[in-house]
Amino acid sequence: MVSIGTPGSTSAKRVMLLGSGELGKEVAIELQRLGCEVIAVDRYPHAPAMQVAHKAHVINMLDEKALYDLIRAESPDLVVPEIEAIATEALLTVEKEGTTVVPTARAANLTMNRRGIRELVASELGVRTSPYRFVESLDELVEAVNEVGLPCVVKPVMSSSGKGQSTIKAEADIANAWNYALEGTRGGADSLIVEGFVNFDYEITLLTVRHAGGVSFCEPIGHRQEAGDYRESWQPQPITESVLAECQSIATGVSDALGGFGLFGMEFFIQGDTVYFSEVSPRPHDTGLVTLISQNLSEFQLHVRAILGLPIPLIQQYGPSASCPILVRGESAAVEFSDIELALLEPHTDIRLFGKPEVRGSRRMGVVVTRRDSVEDARAAALQLSDRVQVGPPSDVSRV
Contact positions vs ligand AMP (CB under 6 A): 130, 153, 155, 162, 195, 197-198, 203, 225, 228, 267, 278-279
The answer to whether the Cα torsion of 47, 48, 49, 52 is positive or negative is positive
Q: What is the distance between the alpha carbons of residues 64 and 41, in angstroms, rounded to a whole number?
A: 14
102 within 8 A of 80, measured Cβ to Cβ: yes
User: In terms of CB distance, is 203 or 246 closer to ligand AMP?
Assistant: 203
Is 22 assigned a catalytic role?
no
Q: Which residue in 179, 280, 158 sits closest to 166, CA to CA?
A: 179
The answer to whether the Cα torsion of 122, 126, 128, 132 is positive or negative is positive
**Smallest gap from residue 390 Cβ to ligand AMP (A):** 29
Q: What is the distance between the alpha carbons of residues 24 and 26, in angstroms, rounded to a whole number?
A: 5
Is 139 assigned a catalytic role?
no
Q: Which residue in 80, 70, 69 sits closest to 37, CA to CA?
A: 80
Is 161 assigned a catalytic role?
no
- Neighbour count for residue 183 (Cβ, 10 Å): 10
**Smallest gap from residue 185 Cβ to ligand AMP (A):** 13
Is 136 assigned a catalytic role?
no
299 within 8 A of 216, measured Cβ to Cβ: no
Is 279 assigned a catalytic role?
yes
The answer to whether the Cα torsion of 28, 29, 30, 36 is positive or negative is positive
User: In terms of CB distance, is 155 or 379 closer to ligand AMP?
Assistant: 155
Residue 350: strand, helix, or coil: strand
Is 267 assigned a catalytic role?
yes
| Residues pairing with 399 in the sheet | 328
**Smallest gap from residue 231 Cβ to ligand AMP (A):** 10
**Smallest gap from residue 393 Cβ to ligand AMP (A):** 33
Q: Report the amino acid identity of residue 154.
A: V
User: In terms of CB distance, is 99 or 111 closer to ligand AMP?
Assistant: 111
Q: What is the distance between the alpha carbons of residues 218 and 146, in angstroms, rounded to a whole number?
A: 39
User: In terms of CB distance, is 50 or 280 closer to ligand AMP?
Assistant: 280
Residue-wise burial string across 357-369, b where 16 or more C-beta atoms lie within 10 A, e elsewhere: bebeeebbbbbbb
**Smallest gap from residue 130 Cβ to ligand AMP (A):** 4
User: In terms of CB distance, is 170 or 345 closer to ligand AMP?
Assistant: 170
Which positions ≥6 away from 248 have C-beta within 8 Å? 206, 208, 217
Is 287 assigned a catalytic role?
yes
The residue from 106, 352, 364, 371 that is catalytic is: 364
User: In terms of CB distance, is 56 or 153 closer to ligand AMP?
Assistant: 153
**Smallest gap from residue 56 Cβ to ligand AMP (A):** 28
The residue from 104, 281, 287, 323 that is catalytic is: 287
The residue from 104, 160, 166, 294 that is catalytic is: 160
Q: What is the distance between the alpha carbons of residues 310 and 4, in angstroms, rounded to a whole number?
A: 11
The residue from 222, 267, 330, 349 that is catalytic is: 267
Catalytically active residues, by annotation: 160, 162, 267, 279, 286-287, 364
